[in-house]
Amino acid sequence: MNKIEIKDCPICGHSSFIDIFKCRDNTVSGELFQLVECRDCGFRFTSPRPADEHLGEYYKSDTYISHSDTDEGLTNKVYKRVRDFSLKIKYNLVRKYSKDKNGNLLDVGAGTGYFVNFCNRNGMQAEGFEPDSDARNVAKTTHGITLIDNWEKINKNFDVITMWHVLEHVPDLKNQFERLKAILKLNGILIIAVPNRESFDEKYYKSDWAAYDVPRHLYHFRKNDLIKLASDFNIKFVDDKPMWFDAPYVSILSEKHKKSYMATIKGSIFGMISNLASLFTNQQSSKIYIFRNGK
């Protein structure tokens, strides 16, 4: 498998890095991948990583939960219940920060279309972009939604753009923000959810932290990383919100990576501990960041 080494920091452009540790791909290949950190700005990312044309091969797993609609297994059952509840939370967040209550929305990395469908059912004009054909097919058969399959087909501007656990998968961060800037209306809202590598559960699990999810997760963000990246495009930070359900889910998977006895129980308990710790640090397992587009 061809791998590429990242020569320049995707955030600041610096070219000197520190090796942090190696993480194992516990989903598809079993390979080890190095995580490095920029000596200048501290941004952490996966390098070397699969060449862009080979990244899709690391998503070929029946157990890859991002597109999973199965009820098999306790983890998937919990995931589906939490997802359904989270849709309303996400929708209410969009309504809170969007100035145009009748505005349109683009969900980037729409997956199987659940959020797009929820928004449309509740009166919004929502569309979704999803490059994966299998996910688009599920969206079509499950919700009757045709998701956009090619970025070049997006021919309008949007009041709100959302990316729910998507940005960490995108190979070229600067190019992605250029694209977002081009289709986000002035004063439009950009909402990005990503894992938080400064969380309590990351500090506990370290290389076994499931949210590193190498090599599918190419980047491992802190709040300041995203603020710096967005500010380069005059997209201004507004607020951040916790994703409370992620810590138990990520902790369960992390315990399974460690092959722990009673992994589900241990992970559930530690996930609650992580959430309690975050009440004092505001460093939840995953965070939602809200931005507003400037000129």
**Mean pLDDT computed over 202-206:** 97
For 175-189, the pLDDT digits (tens) are: 999 999 999 999 999
The model's pTM: 0.93
Secondary structure class of 3 (helix, strand, coil): strand
Please list the helix, strand and coil fractions of the chain in percent, rounded to the nearest 5, in that order.
40, 25, 35
d(CA 68, CA 247): 19
65 — pLDDT class (breaks 50, 70, 90): very low
Alpha helices in the chain (DSSP H): 74-97, 114-121, 133-143, 173-183, 200-205, 223-231, 246-257, 263-281
- To the nearest whole number, what is the mean pLDDT of the chain? 93
* Higher-pLDDT residue of 78, 51: 51
- DSSP, res 109: T
For 9-38, the pLDDT digits (tens) are: 999 999 999 999 999 999 999 999 999 999
Can you give the pLDDT at residue 84?
85
| Cis preceding-peptide flag for 215 (omega within 30 of 0) | yes
For 229-252, the pLDDT digits (tens) are: 999 999 999 999 999 999 999 999
Give residue for tokens 């190498």: 214
Can you give the pLDDT at residue 102?
80
The yes-or-no verdict on residue 66 having pLDDT over 60 is no
**Mean pLDDT computed over 116-131:** 95
Name the strand (E) or helix (H) holding 90: helix 74-97
d(CA 190, CA 293): 7
Tokens of 112: 């199987």
* Higher-pLDDT residue of 295, 208: 208
Q: What domains can you pick out in the chain, each with its CATH number?
A: 66-293 (3.40.50.150)
62 — pLDDT class (breaks 50, 70, 90): low
The yes-or-no verdict on residue 73 having pLDDT over 90 is no
**Mean pLDDT computed over 54-64:** 81
**Mean pLDDT computed over 200-218:** 97
Helix and strand element counts for the chain (H, E): 8, 12
* Higher-pLDDT residue of 204, 62: 204
8 A C-beta contact, residue 130 and residue 143: no
**Mean pLDDT computed over 255-264:** 94
d(CA 267, CA 116): 30
For 143-181, the pLDDT digits (tens) are: 999 999 999 999 999 999 999 999 999 999 999 999 999
* Higher-pLDDT residue of 61, 276: 276
Can you give the pLDDT at residue 72?
66
pLDDT above 90 as % of the chain: 87
Of 90-104, 174-188, 205-219, the one with minimum mean pLDDT is 90-104
d(CA 160, CA 259): 41
70 — pLDDT class (breaks 50, 70, 90): low
* Higher-pLDDT residue of 290, 1: 290
Can you give the pLDDT at residue 67?
44
